Structure 1
Amino acid sequence: MADETEDQAALAQWAATNGDGAAAVGGEWGAGESEGDGLIGSERILNQDEIDSLLGFDLSDDDSNERTGIRAIINSALVSYERLPMLEIVFDRLVRLMTTSLRNFTSDNVEVSLDNISSIRFGDYLNSIPLPAILSVFRAEELDNYGLLTVDSNLIYSIVDVLLGGRRGTAAMRIEGRPYTTIERVLVQRMVEVVLADAKAAFEPLTPVNFVLDRLETNPRFAAIARPANAAILVKLRIDMEDRGGRIELLLPYATLEPIRKMLLQQFMGEKFGRDNIWESHLATELWTTQMEVRAVLDEQQTPLSKVLNLKVGDTLMLNATADSLVELRAGQIPLTRGRMGRRNHHIAIRCEAPLDPAAKQAVQKRLK
């Protein structure tokens, strides 16, 4: 309002000093304002639902994996875990192993369920971790990279309550506003080691991987194992112990899984890409019956083209070889072995004096491929 009053005062002062010309300009100024008001009134303003749809945010279904609008464009750089079908088999195996091992660990009825597997940026995951929580940084030795295992507050107090002999049928007591004690951290560390041992067993049929606990953190900033923009696989596991329980979230950056990416692309265990044993056997059988031309080279000489063009009938070429010289056997341009020339019945024959050249074997195999 103050700006509009100042503009009007300045316009009136300028009109007073410039006479009729200023009045004409003032009339155009007013006409422009009226036209602008009509234009603004004719524009259509989006409501909140249309804005949410354009941006790709749907508050009614937060867990939906479908993304639309601008949000879909932003998340298009992420690799979907469905492109690694073997991961789902590995994590299903992990759930079964954890159910048994945690029952033995807690001496209680434990049910482990797999909530979902999704792709997420590492920075977005760190910002979404509900605190307080314990973040376990572990190292995959054979893969030469790290992973993250997050245990939420509900599961921490439930495990402590179960391991220290809490009564069944009562919810675990939560004390907010204080850091975790040494006893709580040690008990959670033991549970994390059990889970990592199960993860090692889950990956065992695919590839041997040893997961070793590196450290425990309570601040997500100190658990940075990848760049914020890097993509990662997030696995959410639900652990229920009658009326107690909580969540465990396992995060593996794609950089960690890159060395075994070809194995994770398999549709089933033991799948071989581009290789058929039946076809290999058939090809080997046909190769044994294949006719191949072998040449016996007595000697080689380099002669100028002018001399070759001047050759006449009756000219003699002297070879730098004797009757005892070794003769080279070739298949095309590939040297195979050497032998001595002789006679068998009414034919000239070559007796091999050396084994097949290893370089020749590699050259033949390369040509066959």
Structure 2
Amino acid sequence: MEKILTKAEIEALLNAVFDGRIEPEKELSKSEGTAVSYDLFNTEAYRGFVPNLDIVYDGFIRFNRITLSNRLRKVVEIKKVGARSYKFDDFLQTLPSPVCMAIFKLDPLKGAALIAMDSSLAFAIVDSVLGGTSRTALALNRLFTTLELRLVEMVLADVLADLEKSWAPLYPAKLSLLRMEMNPRLVTIVPPEYQVVTMTVKVHIEENVGTMIFVVPIMTIEPIRDKLKEGMQFDLMAIDPQWSYRLSSEILDAPMELSVELGNSTISLRELLDLEVGDTIMLDKPCTSELLVKVEGVPKYQGIPGIRHGNKAMQISDIISTKGSTRERQV
């Protein structure tokens, strides 16, 4: 483990260099070393570690377990195996043969991603869609027919829909299928040396077990790496009815100022200065006319003045709408 210099040691070292007691060129020449190869695509900072990406696949498993069970009319279990990073060319070498691959786009993110499905899972899906009742694993070592690819594509459309829903709390990406492929050599979602991150899941369709692998290039999710670090804010999406009830109760108890405008009058500054106790100011409205009622300075009602239980009162006759018009209200 490398020793980290303290602040005092750093200042002492800098002072020694400035005073000429240490010559950096000579000190560096004393250390003997050899050139070390540095692979930009295999560094720790670029080894494919994507924080919180597994949460997306956890959500996908919850959604797709129900969707796939309803589609196939069979009990389906999906278990996460684990994530791993590869160079894209190295990943293609790990794929079994035959393999069913779906290439899809994550708009508006750049690039494309893919889903690889081994033959055991693909043939189990085809068997279930066509009403098969076999409870033993299907071991067919051949390429898929056009009809079989079409049936698997139908199921993969559900997979992409569930994957899109699992991405939604983190990033609103639109997933769309580009094409289906059986030959890994014809798949080039990124150059061979580029890094991709994979997630492998095991799919149990009754007694049949298959593997599904999700492959996303690092360059595709690099723009949202910071959002992935922050994690999904599911709590911000949740609605707390108790909190809403308490907030409504507190708002209803908030005090508000209500004022009644009796009328208006225009006088000069001299008349204002000459006003004395007992003088009368003539308003532009009679006491029997409708008066304007304001709430926090905003016109809200019109009413008729009167007396109730020996107190001055106001009976609301109209409600002023937001557009300035009034509508009658019986009180």
The TM tier, using the shorter chain, reads 0.5 to 0.7
- Per the alignment, residue 154 of structure 2 pairs with 190
Matched residue count: 201
Which of 163, 167, 181 is equivalent to 2:129? 163
Residues 54-73 of structure 1: CA deviation (Å, up to 9, x unaligned): xxxxxxxxxxxxxxxx9x98
- Per the alignment, residue 111 of structure 1 pairs with 77
The answer as to 2:51 corresponding to 1:85 is: yes
Task: Output the CA distance in 2 between the equivalents of 1:215 and 1:241.
Answer: 25
| Max Rg structure | 1
Give 1:212's aligned amino acid. S
User: Could you say what secondary structure the match of 1:207 adopts?
Assistant: coil
When residues 78 and 246 of structure 1 are mapped into structure 2, their CA distance, relative to the original with a 3 A threshold, is farther
- Per the alignment, residue 6 of structure 2 pairs with none
- Per the alignment, residue 135 of structure 1 pairs with 101
The answer on whether the counterparts of 2:48 and 2:197 sit within 8 Å (CA) in structure 1 is no
- Per the alignment, residue 288 of structure 1 pairs with none
Structure 1 runs (4+) deviating above 6 angstroms are 72-75
The answer as to 2:207 corresponding to 1:256 is: no
Report the alpha carbon displacement of residue 91 of structure 1 after superposing the two structures with TM: 1.3
Task: Output the CA distance in 2 between the equivalents of 1:164 and 1:268.
Answer: 39
Task: Output the CA distance in 1 between the equivalents of 2:129 and 2:235.
Answer: 43
User: Could you say what secondary structure the match of 2:200 adopts?
Assistant: strand
Which structure has the highest helix share of the two?
Answer: 1
Task: Output the CA distance in 1 between the equivalents of 2:164 and 2:47.
Answer: 20
Task: Output the CA distance in 2 between the equivalents of 1:270 and 1:142.
Answer: 22
- Per the alignment, residue 243 of structure 1 pairs with 207
The answer on whether the counterparts of 1:106 and 1:163 sit within 8 Å (CA) in structure 2 is yes
Percent identical residues: 30
Residues 109-167 of structure 1: CA deviation (Å, up to 9, x unaligned): 00001100111111100111111011111111211320011010100111111111111
When residues 167 and 201 of structure 1 are mapped into structure 2, their CA distance, relative to the original with a 3 A threshold, is same
Task: Output the CA distance in 2 between the equivalents of 1:234 and 1:256.
Answer: 13
Which of 223, 228, 236 is equivalent to 2:192? 228
Which structure has the highest strand share of the two?
Answer: 2
Task: Output the CA distance in 2 between the equivalents of 1:181 and 1:78.
Answer: 43
Runs of 5+ unmatched residues, structure 2:
1-35, 237-331
Runs of 5+ unmatched residues, structure 1:
1-69, 273-369
RMSD after superposition: 2.7
User: Could you say what secondary structure the match of 2:227 adopts?
Assistant: helix
Which of 183, 197, 201 is equivalent to 2:165? 201
The answer on whether the counterparts of 2:41 and 2:194 sit within 8 Å (CA) in structure 1 is no
Which of 182, 191, 207 is equivalent to 1:218? 182
User: Could you say what secondary structure the match of 2:144 adopts?
Assistant: coil
Give 1:121's aligned amino acid. K
User: Could you say what secondary structure the match of 1:202 adopts?
Assistant: helix
The answer on whether the counterparts of 1:136 and 1:216 sit within 8 Å (CA) in structure 2 is yes
Task: Output the CA distance in 1 between the equivalents of 2:226 and 2:40.
Answer: 27
Task: Output the CA distance in 1 between the equivalents of 2:181 and 2:170.
Answer: 30
- Per the alignment, residue 18 of structure 2 pairs with none
When residues 163 and 260 of structure 1 are mapped into structure 2, their CA distance, relative to the original with a 3 A threshold, is same
